[in-house]
A and B are shown apart, each in its own frame.
Chain A
Amino acid sequence: MIASLSLILLCQLVGEVAVRALAVPVPGPVVGLVLLLLLLLARDRYPALARGPLGNDGVESASRGMLANLSLLFIPAGVGVVQKLDLLAEHGIAILVILAVSVIVTLLATVATFVAASSLFSREDEAP
């Protein structure tokens, strides 16, 4: 458990150091995500890596536990809305309409593209 959390924090730490050292506009945790993914893939190739947090479902179960309560983690930042009440009084309706329209457009564009692309690529596969 502690070793698994340490591995996750270590990936994030390396990610944060890397993005600051290279001055790239990617958040550190995203680099950490890629690092952890590469570690897990490397473990499949080199079984010697399957120990500690990388063995015995360690880092996997710690991650699942964290992701199961993902909603909770949004709350402290979201409560920041109390500082924005004047801004919301002024622009709140516009912001709500913009976000609602954008989310609907995005949902439709994404699902239509996915369905169109998957039928296109599977037809190519079937062609002799």
Chain B
Amino acid sequence: MSDNPFSLWVYLSQSPLLWLTVTLVTYAATDAVSLKTRRHPLANPVLHSLWIIGAFLLLTNTSYTTYFAGAQFVHFLLGPATVALAVPLYENRRRVAAAVLPMLVALTVGSLTAIVSVVLLARAFGLPREIILSLAPKSVTAGVAMGISESLHADPSLTAVSVILTGIMGAIIVTPLMNFTGITDFRGRGFAAGIAAHGIGTARAFQVDEVAGVFAGIAMSLNALVTSLLVPLAVTYLLR
């Protein structure tokens, strides 16, 4: 043990160990709260982990670069997790094949709506071009969205923030909104959640209905493919 507690802090605050631990512990705690509240949409673990860790960094005057040196080990797994989406797609291949036509039509319409609506709204609000480009891929899972953002020379960290905000808002609104429309086809409800709100929407769909969850997962994987092709095209046409 060091004589000076401050030098211990200086050592720890610069090591990846502390920030990796902070990330995992905060998530474990917020996820436990989410389970306790029976996955209430407002108890979303991502939402609460973000402000808790963010406040901790601001209070301890730690830079994001220092934090990320530890948290990057978690961040890295976004790529492999995207590859892993092949498994639910494969396991539900019969269901996918049976509903392939409505899914493809809904995928095209939904993916286009997600991109075009955000770009047009952002233009109407007069946001700078770099922000519009960073918001455009907000409906796909973070790893893919950040990849798209990077390839457009936009701001991947702003993209990540907008992806997560989109996911959280989608997960909160989807059930009341769908109940309001009176649509009871859980394949369609789940599919919409996966297109509009990626992994966070999919996690929500699984809590509501098993079939909805499966279709949300399929929608999220297909949307990752389609959006990465559509966003570069859409921004070229819409932001000329």
Give me the interface of A with B, judged by CB distance under 8 Å. 5, 8-9, 11-12, 15, 25-30, 32-37, 40-41, 59-60, 62-64, 66-67, 70-84, 87, 91, 94-111, 113-115, 117-118, 121
Determine the chain B residues whose CB is within 8 A of the CB of A60 once the complex forms.
Answer: 87, 91
Of residues 91 through 107 on chain B, the ones whose CB sits less than 8 Å from some CB of chain A are 91, 93, 99, 101-103, 105-106
**Which residue of chain A lies nearest to B117 when distances are taken between CB atoms in the complex?**
A102
Closest Cβ–Cβ distance, residue B195 to chain A (whole Å)? 5
**Which residue of chain A lies nearest to B160 when distances are taken between CB atoms in the complex?**
A77
Known contacts A75-B46, A76-B71, A104 near B177 by CB under 8 Å = yes
Determine the chain B residues whose CB is within 8 A of the CB of A15 once the complex forms.
Answer: 83
CB-based closest 8 A-B pairs: A27-B147, A110-B110, A77-B160, A80-B157, A76-B71, A63-B84, A29-B82, A114-B188
User: Complex Cα distance A61/B131, Å?
Assistant: 38
| A35, A75, A84, A95: most-surrounded residue (chain B CB, <10 A) | A75
Closest Cβ–Cβ distance, residue B127 to chain A (whole Å)? 6
A9-B80 in contact (CB<8A): yes
B121-A98 in contact (CB<8A): yes
Known contacts A29-B83, A103-B170, A72 near B74 by CB under 8 Å = yes
Q: What 1/0 mask marks residues of chain B from 10 to 32 whose CB sits below 8 Å from any chain A CB?
A: 00000000000001101100010
The count of chain B contact residues (Cβ–Cβ below 8 Å) is: 105
User: Complex Cα distance A63/B165, Å?
Assistant: 25
Closest Cβ–Cβ distance, residue B186 to chain A (whole Å)? 10
Looking at chain B's contact residues, the main secondary structure is helix
Known contacts A111-B191, A118-B185, A121-B102, A33 near B86 by CB under 8 Å = yes
User: Complex Cα distance A105/B192, Å?
Assistant: 10
B177-A75 in contact (CB<8A): no
B75-A73 in contact (CB<8A): yes
B118-A102 in contact (CB<8A): yes
User: Complex Cα distance A116/B177, Å?
Assistant: 18
A12-B80 in contact (CB<8A): yes
**Which residue of chain B lies nearest to A39 when distances are taken between CB atoms in the complex?**
B86
User: Complex Cα distance A117/B151, Å?
Assistant: 34
User: Complex Cα distance A29/B67, Å?
Assistant: 25
Determine the chain A residues whose CB is within 8 A of the CB of B138 once the complex forms.
Answer: 99, 102
For the complex with contacts A40-B87, A78-B160, A118-B102, 14 further pairs of A-B residues with Cβ separation under 8 Å are A29-B80, A29-B143, A29-B144, A35-B83, A67-B84, A70-B203, A75-B26, A79-B68, A81-B157, A91-B131, A107-B170, A107-B192, A110-B110, A110-B192
Give me the interface of B with A, judged by CB distance under 8 Å. 23-24, 26-27, 31, 45-46, 49-50, 53-54, 57-58, 64, 67-68, 71-72, 74-75, 77-91, 93, 99, 101-103, 105-106, 109-110, 113-114, 117-118, 121-122, 125, 127, 131, 135, 138-139, 141-144, 146-148, 151, 156-158, 160-167, 169-170, 173-174, 177-178, 181, 183, 185, 187-189, 191-193, 195-197, 199-200, 202-203, 217, 219, 221, 224-225, 228-229, 232
A109-B161 in contact (CB<8A): no
Determine the chain A residues whose CB is within 8 A of the CB of B106 once the complex forms.
Answer: 110-111, 113-114, 117
B102-A114 in contact (CB<8A): yes
Q: List 5 A-B contacts (CB under 8 A).
A: A8-B84, A27-B151, A32-B83, A99-B138, A115-B188
Determine the chain B residues whose CB is within 8 A of the CB of A9 once the complex forms.
Answer: 80
Determine the chain B residues whose CB is within 8 A of the CB of A94 once the complex forms.
Answer: 122, 125, 127
